[in-house]
Amino acid sequence: MDSFTAGLIALGDPSLLILLIAATLGGVIIGALPGLNATTGAALLLPFTLTMEPVPAIAVLTAIYCAATFAGAITAILINTPGTAASATTCLDGYPLAQRGEAGRALGMAVISSTTGGILSVICLMLAAPLLARAAYHFSPPEYFALTLFGLSMLAGIGDGSAIKNLIAGGLGIFLAMVGVDNLTTVERFTFGSYQLYEGIGFVPVMIGVFGISELLVQASRLHVVREQIQMKMVKLPSRADIGRTWRTILRSSGIGTFIGILPAEGATVASMIGYNEAKRWSRNPGEFGKGAIEGVAGSEAANNAATGGAMVPTLALGIPGSATAAVILAGLMVHGLRPGPAMFTEQAEFAYAIFWSMMLVNLLFLAVGLGGAKLFARVTLIPTQLLWPSVFVFSIVGAYALDQSMFDVWVALVAGVIGFFMRRFGFSVVPLAIGLILGGMLEQRFGQSMVMLNEQWWLMFTRPLTLLFFVLTAAALFGPPIWGRLFRQRSPLESTGE
């Protein structure tokens, strides 16, 4: 309880409150710009948070996460272009509502649904993360190794490409994590005589490259695309009838989003799709969906914002990122010397609860920012892409250099950006690469610790119940879907013939 109160008191600092308000405004602008998203924004701002204290730094990143996830609905509703992938399903009903002159009604419902989903997910985060961390407090290196391996197995489903391509991208990230001097054996690996590579490849330049610079190159190939724009005359809250019609949908989608967010392989995009589908399934008027159903906006937006709090549960309690943006936040924690996991809730509990309360505050700020500033933020989308993306490029280069004042980091970011561009062009997701880079080093370290603990008798891991459980879950995550799919395909012809 002392840590719970101390975390709240930490937000009483006026400078931190001003910083959170600014980060919320910045996150809304980032999310409202088509092409930019919470992950890109967090990656670009990560190096600039290194000069801050840990609490403000991580609070800023989480504020960007929450605000940008919500703001994707602005362009989804106004110009039929989701600011983030998580708002793609919002287009289905939000844009038809705007075409009917009800943009204010759609935006108001998006704000209310996002706020409700975000607050409920943060409450679940406050309750679930400490409990999960307390259970993990008894873990030893073999359990952590198996858990990290389980997290890596989720790479098959965490990107937007095929499972094989996601695993290949994750493997590339793990390979990059192997560069540098091994902490246990002091053996140099893939350094090629370059002293800049002795300590490995940094998280931050790679994050900036694969998310920021690669997106610049992708957008540069789409300069000929013309987005249709519609005028919005007013922003207002939905009516009482709208709220009475959607409150069940909002609560249902909030629960779905929180649960999906907790799963390491999923995120806001998957949550929004499931939330939208369930809203349609339980609706009394499913025929209205896709034509301007207010329930469709509520179901999508409540789910994708609830996923933000859910994704932070495994990130803080276990050190396993629940989404791409959570992976960037995890990198920020590690850069600041913080250790996500059980120790955070025993040795740094005040810090953990400060993050919880900052996320709660950001979600409350949505009401004022979303309703009062939506019209202004919508005009930000009018910025010509010829001006927007060069500015993003300059911001990326400055961010990469600011980390250690090193031109080597700038070259790493540029190379990572080119690699990320070609990966996207050939259907590979960059998200598994980023997560593989983060978890790869953790996996190696925990495996080495396990070998020391078990006197290099690796087979003894299978005699430990929790370790064995995680190994089974890893095998199920990797081989379960293809086996189940093959069995289903073999059974379907038999069922169709009546045998």
Within 8 A by CB and 6+ apart from 388, the residues are 33
The residue that leads in pLDDT, 156 or 300, is: 300
**Structure token digits, residue 420:** 């990320």
In which element (H, E) is residue 188 found? Answer: strand 188-189
Q: What percent of the chain has pLDDT over 70?
A: 78
Residue 53 makes CB contacts below 8 A (sequence gap 6+) with none
How far apart CA 195 and CA 332 sit, in angstroms, is 24
Two tokens, residue 173: 């990230």
- The amino acid at residue 352 is A
Residue 148 to residue 161: CA distance in whole angstroms: 22
Question: Which segments within 142-223 are labelled E, that is strand?
Answer: 180-181, 188-189
Residue with tokens 């409202």: 32
State in Å, rounded, how far the first CA of the chain is from the last one: 62
How confident is the model at residue 493, as a pLDDT?
53
Q: Confirm if 171 and 437 have CB atoms less than 8 A apart.
A: no
Q: Is 39 helix (H, G, I), strand (E, B) or coil?
A: helix
**pTM of the full structure:** 0.65
DSSP symbols for 394-417 = HHHHHHHHHTTT-HHHHHHHHHHH
Is the distance from CB of 321 to CB of 265 less than 8 angstroms? Answer: no
User: Is 282's pLDDT higher than 60?
Assistant: yes
The confidence band for 234, taking pLDDT boundaries of 50, 70 and 90, is: very low
**What is the pLDDT of the chain when averaged over all its residues?**
76
31-79 pLDDT tens trace: 776 556 777 788 878 887 878 888 888 888 888 888 888 887 877 777 6
Residues 459-486 pLDDT 10s: 888 888 888 888 888 888 777 666 766 6
Nearest to 136 by CA among 307, 315, 324: 315
The pLDDT of residue 114: 87
